[in-house]
Structure 1
Amino acid sequence: MKKQWMFGAMAIALWSSYACAQPDAGEPSVLVTQVALRQGSLPSTVQAYGFVQPSKAASRTVMATASAMVQAVYVREGEEIAAGAPMLRLAPAPQTAAAFAQAQSALRVARQLAARTQQMFAQHLATAQQLADAQKSEADATANLAALKAQGAGGAQVLRAPFRAVVMHLSASPGMLAAEGASLLELASPEKTILKVGVAPAQAMLVSAGNTARVTAVGEAQSWSGTVVQRGSMIDPSTGLVPVEIALPPGRFLPGEAAGAAITVGETQGYVVPHAAILVDDHGEPYVVQSKNMKARKVKVNVVGMQADKDVIRGSGLNPGEPLVLSGNYQLDDGMRMRVATQDGKGEQ
């Protein structure tokens, strides 16, 4: 009886020592994926929105060079026209025609006077000063008539597009009497456009000419490269923002189109992690989960930069030697065991 009791005690002791040496089969674990925690950087950007406009350097206002009557209009507002295409037909206004006739008459008289004075000078009946005055009067009359011709006073003329352009604004209409200097239409080259955006004053101080930007039209997925060409030095009182102009690639945007820009103003250093690695606790504070000896460890972090699906984080508790948990991280609490998913989707201890 005593021997049976001793054998039973030994069996219990052996089983107890074996059980203590093995992990608790009932201890919960979570299937996760992990990535290495690495230092890096992401572009630091300023976000802004605005509208596409023609570049001022590629815009032109066509004005009436003399008082004229608009006989015909060949273009429409918003239309793209080729270089040399007819735009307007103008005829001199009555007062312009009268001024041209007077200039022609004045030139005839000046020529006759100069010729007569030349003959008299040859006969020693006129002085050199009188001849010089007559010749100057002829030159002045010639220049005046040429100027009126250049202004279109000599007859009807057709105004043609100086370059391939979009008609941004049309003020002229058939039958309209346009005064000298009046705006008839505004042209802009479709090859040279800018995106004019407004930036908050604090962020505008980070922007400077030459900064690169990624520009995306509203409703579009694809973005295009642009360059900051000008940053305003004062706040626009109508918006409370600082105007910034971004040069756009030719042929990619239409004037008046709404677009957003991400302006690169520097680099943000830290740990670059997938956005899926970042969680938020009950207090609204961001954190990540690292794996220490296959057990979860929550680490509070600060998100200091982001781009697309990547974030830059910093935190005093981060350990670059411990893997970062991705999928399954939301199920973990401090100290919980993990199983790392293999390529076939199964877990390994």
Structure 2
Amino acid sequence: MKKTAYVMAIATLLCACNRTPSAASEATGPTATVQVQRAASGPIEQVLQAYGTVEYPPQSQSTVSSQSEATIEQILVANGQSVRRGEPLIRIKPSAAALQELHNARNDATAATQELARVTRLFGQHLATNADLTQARQAMGNARSALTSANTRVGAGGTRVLYAESDTTVVSIPVARGDIVAADAPLIHLARKGGVMVRLGIEPSDASAVKPGMPVVVSPVYDSTQRLEGVVAEVMDQVDPQTRLLQATITLPAADGLLPGSTVRGAIGIQRRNQAVRVARSALLYEGDQAYLFIVERGTARRVLVTPGIDDGTWVEVQKGLKAGEEVVVAGNYELEDGMSVASTPPQGAQTP
């Protein structure tokens, strides 16, 4: 009987020993493996990304035109070509209508001269009045002015070559050989060398955030390593009907390497703080509109409500609820609960805020 009681006591003790680890585990709870990063204090800037094109400033552009209706005989330059002052651009000749205008002006001038001679002769014979003589003189003056104007606009009636008046670049040529163009219609668009501007497309919802004077970093899409600093010069008040975007013009003090007509990316600095508590963007979680994050204190995760500020796409400013130097969970936070035990490691390849 004693032997049986002794065996039962040993069995009971062994069962108790076997349950000890499980009970201990239940007491401490699960442990989550997370990556942490210390909140740091430093500058942060909110940037608005926009795309646009490189253009010549309006004040640098000019056009070549004919003063009379003309026929295009030969185009001597091409789009994008650099031309020096005095180089030929285009060869034109007067149209049939322009030649007829010149012919009429010559006939009118001849007729007016003959009429003045006739009235002068009659006036000497007392057969014409002072008014007749004044009228004839006036008619001859008008006819000569019309002839001078026709000669200036049409020329002698033959082929003419138009030349570059300064060192320029050919922007576009809206005509082709054989076209008949009206007087003063543009034949070639030119731009002076030495300056370009950037025109960025802004979403209408972002227009109120973009103001003249804001800093902009411009990079061509074909070379993201090239970074040129400029400022917002103007934000247009009208939406472009083709792109459905607002246009913002950017001035660049130095624009070496930017090719007119190319596409660029612009980063507009719309808000900046020189000293702010920053955390990685992945640290922030939301419950409704309330932002929160987890900090680690002595191996335990603690949920903290925070007020986020500037978001630059990588880092987020925390205006309230966090201090610089606190360890913030940046990965594995979706699995956490307040008070959970954690094993923390620094994030792989993380940048310091």
Shift of 1:75: 0.5
Shift of 1:251: 4.2
Measured in 2, the distance between the counterparts of 1:97 and 1:116 equals 29
- Seen in structure 2, the aligned counterparts of structure 1 residues 130 and 149 have a Cα distance that, compared at 3 Å, is same
Shift of 1:258: 0.8
Q: Residue 271 of structure 1 corresponds to which residue in structure 2?
A: 276
- Seen in structure 2, the aligned counterparts of structure 1 residues 280 and 272 have a Cα distance that, compared at 3 Å, is closer
Structure 1 gap segments, 5+ residues each: 1-29, 342-349
Q: Residue 203 of structure 2 corresponds to which residue in structure 1?
A: 200
When the two chains are superposed, the root-mean-square deviation of aligned CA atoms in Å is 4.3
Measured in 2, the distance between the counterparts of 1:174 and 1:224 equals 40
Shift of 1:89: 1.1
Shift of 1:259: 0.9
Residue number among 101, 104, 118 corresponding to 2:103 in the alignment: 101
Larger mean Cα displacement after TM superposition, 236-245 or 296-305:
296-305
Residue number among 221, 237, 242 corresponding to 1:238 in the alignment: 242
Q: Is the 8 A contact 2:285 2:293 kept in 1?
A: no
Residue number among 42, 51, 54 corresponding to 2:53 in the alignment: 51
Measured in 2, the distance between the counterparts of 1:183 and 1:48 equals 33
CA offsets 1:312-343 (integer angstroms, 9 cap, x no match): 3323x2235xx2459x976999798999x9xx
Does 2:226 correspond to 1:222? yes
Q: Secondary structure at the match of 2:142?
A: helix
- Seen in structure 2, the aligned counterparts of structure 1 residues 243 and 272 have a Cα distance that, compared at 3 Å, is same
- Seen in structure 2, the aligned counterparts of structure 1 residues 232 and 125 have a Cα distance that, compared at 3 Å, is same
**How do residues 141-160 of structure 1 correspond to structure 2 at under 5 angstroms?**
141-154=143-156, 155-160=158-163
Measured in 2, the distance between the counterparts of 1:259 and 1:214 equals 10
Q: Residue 17 of structure 2 corresponds to which residue in structure 1?
A: none
Does 2:67 correspond to 1:65? yes
Measured in 2, the distance between the counterparts of 1:325 and 1:163 equals 65
Shift of 1:218: 0.7
Shift of 1:305: 2.2
Shift of 1:204: 0.4
CA offsets 1:129-157 (integer angstroms, 9 cap, x no match): 33432332233223222322332332322
Residue number among 259, 262, 280 corresponding to 2:264 in the alignment: 259
Q: Residue 168 of structure 1 corresponds to which residue in structure 2?
A: 171
- Using structure 2 for the length normalisation, give the TM-score: 0.67
Measured in 1, the distance between the counterparts of 2:256 and 2:135 equals 58
Shift of 1:76: 1.2
Measured in 2, the distance between the counterparts of 1:146 and 1:265 equals 59
Shift of 1:86: 1.1
CA offsets 1:227-282 (integer angstroms, 9 cap, x no match): 3333222333433322222234444422221111122334357624375x963569
Measured in 1, the distance between the counterparts of 2:271 and 2:284 equals 27
- Seen in structure 2, the aligned counterparts of structure 1 residues 294 and 189 have a Cα distance that, compared at 3 Å, is farther
Q: Secondary structure at the match of 2:226?
A: coil
Q: Secondary structure at the match of 1:233?
A: strand
Larger mean Cα displacement after TM superposition, 288-297 or 214-223:
288-297
Q: Residue 305 of structure 1 corresponds to which residue in structure 2?
A: 310
Q: Secondary structure at the match of 2:201?
A: strand
Q: Residue 247 of structure 1 corresponds to which residue in structure 2?
A: 251
Measured in 1, the distance between the counterparts of 2:282 and 2:275 equals 14
Q: Secondary structure at the match of 1:102?
A: helix
Measured in 2, the distance between the counterparts of 1:272 and 1:114 equals 94
Q: Secondary structure at the match of 1:110?
A: helix
Q: Is the 8 A contact 2:35 2:331 kept in 1?
A: no
Q: Is the 8 A contact 1:213 1:228 kept in 2?
A: yes
Shift of 1:283: 8.0
* Amino-acid identity (%): 24
Measured in 2, the distance between the counterparts of 1:306 and 1:83 equals 52
Q: Is the 8 A contact 1:191 1:251 kept in 2?
A: no
Q: Is the 8 A contact 1:272 1:310 kept in 2?
A: no
Q: Secondary structure at the match of 2:237?
A: coil
The AA in structure 2 aligned to 1:234 is Q
- Using structure 1 for the length normalisation, give the TM-score: 0.68
The AA in structure 1 aligned to 2:132 is Q
Measured in 2, the distance between the counterparts of 1:228 and 1:282 equals 34
The AA in structure 2 aligned to 1:142 is R
